[in-house]
Structure 1
Amino acid sequence: MMVVMNIDATKEQIDAVIARVEANKFKVIVNPGEERTVIAVVGPNPSAIREQLMYMPGVDHTVPISRPYKIASREFIPENTVFPLDGFMIGGDEVVMIAGPCAVESRSQLLECAQAVKEAGAHALRGGAFKPRSSPYSFQGMGEEGLEILAEAREVTGLPVFTEVIAPEQVPLVAKYADVLQIGARNMQNFALLHAAGECDKPVLLKRGPSALIEELLMAAEYILSHGNRRVILCERGVRTFETSTRNTTDINAIPVLKNLTHLPVILDPSHSTGHADLVAPVARAGIAAGADGLIIEVHPNPRQALSDGGQSLTPEKFAILVRQAKGIAREVGRK
């Protein structure tokens, strides 16, 4: 339930409503909007205290929140969540380009790739230091050494770093080096990790699980948001279906659906959703046209020698072409 305060409600009146809610053992989430404050009452059957609240001084009206996710819902926060990250805005008018290799393989590989994607027009650098792989015999990443190389690449290029965290105890370590923590598809419902990410002060990129409903993705985001970390980016990266001609099935529908349901930024990962380098650019273009706030693209200076996901990685030259195409499509849909 939402308690909508009057435009001229005083701080004392707002505090009194919060105190009444907490006295009834419900959780309070406050959204100080531009015109008026909205207080979310979270817990089982919040309508039980509706009559107590609706007649309190300063209260305009109460509204039920119909979605199981509360803070992520546009019902609670109607305006888009927009936040800055090293010179650009996520969730605003810009279509953000995040690019880099699937995994940090060496210092020379990452620095070469970081410089190339920056020159092509990337806003941020991606790269995995910890890699949760399907096979225990596959390359698992360079760990903290990989994080140190990512931090060096940021110093050299000025690009903020997105990198994956795969366990709750890793959050402080990864946050020490990264600008944005990525929670991968396999960990979308790793609730201990979601709690830890929510308690961190870094933005979080949350990928949709391979078999997850859109509502389940938003409920996973709610775990992070419930701890007060409001800088969450949602990522569509394809879902598992009966189709075998691509790695996953890109759910383009999910982009406008999510934009309708939530105020959080939504980006697309066409590398993992297709699994084929020659399909990345067409699907990326479709994602921008569908309303994505950004793209996260795997780029490798020599995809044939990549230790992870070389088959879906673009060369720097092909990424530069995609950036130029993305600019044209973005303009046509009213974006930068």
Structure 2
Amino acid sequence: MKYTLLILLTLVNSLLVAQPNKPQPTVFVCNYTGVRTPSIECSYDPQATSIAHAGRVVDRILKPIGLMRNFKVMECANTQNCFAAVQNGQRYIIYDAAFMQQLEDATETDWTATSVMAHEIGHHLQGHTLTTGGSTHQKELEADRFSGFVLHQLGATLDESLVAIRAIGAVYASATHPARATRLEAIQKGWAEADAIYPRTKPVTPSRLAAPATAKESSEPRKSGAESVAGIVPTLVTQRYENGQVKYKGGVLMNLRTGYGTYYYPNGDRYAGQFAYDQPHGKGTYYFADGDRFVGTFRNGKRTGFGTLFTADGDVEEEGNYVNDVVVTASSEKR
């Protein structure tokens, strides 16, 4: 079934009105950033590809806490946000697919969109959408705390749980949303609560792979072709050691290596791939000075996820799933 809704999103009291326009009771509407959004018509189509994908993300968030989805997921383009809303007793998670993709691209991690979705789901599960009117600081912090707890259960690190609010959270408080620092603290509390109940495995000291040190010198940055998110545009830079040799070539965001780049280590090693918060994070290749190379995924500077270590001759030396730079599940097949 496909039908149209008119979303009137304001900062405090908001309406979700069905077409044709008829008087409707005020309902709870919360958005992630608190930014005012104009009136926009949106169509609910459960067969849409983007909605199917978003629904899977929502189900993934609910699985660790043993709940089934009892609200509808709806795409609404050009809103540059994500919302929790209720109309006529039906609960909705409303999102802008293009905005969520831009957010993931800029932060180089899909944890960003997951965090935003988890926040809005938190509003529904904590009963915020049972009341009329807009959001409050207390409701926002409760939803932030919930997102931190859930992201821990999904496997996100503390830093990964904070990426979204760091990227698009407002520095200063508004009438409905707390300041970024306060929201960061709420997410940290949620993550820590989950970790106290379900502690992570203690980190393993890396045997070979080291995270790059922060560069001190850089050339004048120039704008890259990356799309801006919340007014922040990644830049491309070349950083050098004191002897003039190249240290890093790639993207930088807020003085931190972000996006695709290549880092040249003093010992002759080299990493080419995705960065986030100054460290290898995402897909990449680590080239050892002796000719060996590792191809796989990284998190916070360490090999995490599936990867393959090749010898200089191209043979597979080691392959499997890694955690904190150590292979924990080796592949049975060798090429």
On whether the aligned pair clears a TM of 0.5, the verdict is no
TM-score range, shorter chain: under 0.3
The structure whose Rg is larger is: 2
Higher helix share: 1
